[in-house]
A and B are shown apart, each in its own frame.
Chain A
Amino acid sequence: MFQEKLWLMGKSRLKTYESTWRKDVLSNQENEPYRFYLEKGVHTIRMEVVLGEFSEIISEVEESVQELNSIYRSVIRITGVSPDQYRDYQIERSLPELSTEIMEVHDKLDETIKDLQNLIGENSDKESVLITMRDQLEELADDPERFAEVIGAYKINVRATANWITQVIDQPLQLDTIYIYSPEEKIEIENQGFFARIIYELIRLFYSFIIDYNQIGNASEEKGESITLWIGTGRDQANIIKSLIDTSFTKDTGINVNVQLVDMNTLLRATLANEGPDVAIQVPNTNGIAGAVLLTSNDSSVNYGIRNAVIDLTNFSDYEEVAQRFEESALLQQQFNGATYGLPETQTFPMLFYRKDILAELDLAVPKTWDEIKVTMTVLAKNQMEFGMLPNEQTFAMMLYQYGGEYYNSEGSKSELDSDNAINAFKEYCIFYTDYKLDKETSVEERFRTGECPIIISDYTLYNNLQVSAPDIDGLWGIAPVPGMLNEDGTIDRSVGSTGLSSLIMSSTEEPDACWVFLKWWTSSETQVDFGYEMESLLGEAGRIPTANKEAFEAIPWRVDDMNALLEQYKWVKGIPQVPGGYYSWRNVNNAFYTVTTDTDIASPREELVDKVTLINTELSYKWEEFELISLEK
Chain B
Amino acid sequence: MASREASFIAMKQGKLRYQIKKSKTSYLMLAPFFVLFFFFTILPVFASILLSFTDFNMLEFPEFVGWTNYIRLLVNDDIFLIALKNTLIFAVVTGPVSYIMCLLFAWIINEFKGKLRAFLTLVFYAPSICGNAYMIWLIILSGDRYGYLNGLLLKYDFINEAILWMKTEKYVLPVLIVVQLWLSLGTGFLAFIAGLQTVDKSLYEAGAIDGVKNRWQELWFITLPAMKPQLMFGAVMQITQSFAIADISIQLAGNPSVNYAGATVVTHLLDYGTVRFEMGYASAIATILFILMVGTNKFVQKILRRVGE
Contacts and interface: CB of A to CB of B under 8 A. Distances in A.
B143 A440 contact: yes
B57 interface: yes
Interface stretch (A408-416, A493-501, A511-519, A583-591): A583-591
A616 to B, nearest CB: 13
A332 interface: no
A441 B161 CA distance: 13
Contact of A441 (B57, B142, B256, B275): B142
Interface stretch (A26-34, A303-311, A350-358, A552-560): A303-311
A591 B258 contact: yes
B258 A441 contact: no
A595 B261 CA distance: 11
Interface in B159-217: 161-162, 164, 167-169
Contacts of B164: 440-441, 594, 598
A286 B275 contact: yes
A626 interface: yes
B167 A287 contact: no
Contact of B59 (A271, A583, A591, A626): A271
A566 B29 CA distance: 69
Given A307-B277, A583-B276, A594-B258, A440 B60 contact: no
B145 interface: yes
A151 interface: no
B57 A594 contact: no
A439 interface: yes
A442 B275 contact: no
B9 to A, nearest CB: 41
B244 interface: no
A268 B59 contact: yes
A497 B146 CA distance: 30
Interface string A291-309: 0000000000001100111
Contacts of A268: 58-59, 274
B259 interface: yes
Contact of B144 (A287, A439, A626): A439
A439 B150 CA distance: 13
B227 interface: no
Interface string A265-285: 000100110000000000000
B168 A303 contact: no
Given A268-B59, A307-B59, A591-B259, A286 B274 contact: yes
A240 to B, nearest CB: 30
Nearest to A299: B275
Contacts of B274: 268, 286-287
Given A594-B258, A595-B259, A308 B277 contact: no
A127 to B, nearest CB: 28
A437 interface: yes
Contacts of A286: 274-275, 277
Contact of B145 (A82, A271, A598): A82
B154 interface: yes
Nearest to A308: B60
A308 B59 contact: yes
Interface string B14-46: 000000000000000000000000000000000
Given A587-B256, A594-B259, A82 B59 contact: no
Contact of A594 (B161, B167, B275): B167
Interface in B120-156: 142-146, 154-155
Contacts of B57: 307, 626
Contacts of A440: 143, 164, 167
Interface in B43-78: 55, 57-60
A166 B95 CA distance: 48
Interface string A569-591: 00000000000010100010011
A440 B167 CA distance: 10
B96 to A, nearest CB: 31
Given A591-B258, A594-B167, A307 B143 contact: no
Interface of B: 55, 57-60, 142-146, 154-155, 161-162, 164, 167-169, 255-256, 258-260, 274-277
Given A439-B143, A440-B167, 6 more contacts: A303-B277, A304-B59, A441-B167, A591-B260, A595-B259, A598-B167
Interface of A: 81-82, 268, 271-272, 286-287, 303-304, 307-309, 437, 439-442, 581, 583, 587, 590-591, 594-595, 598, 626
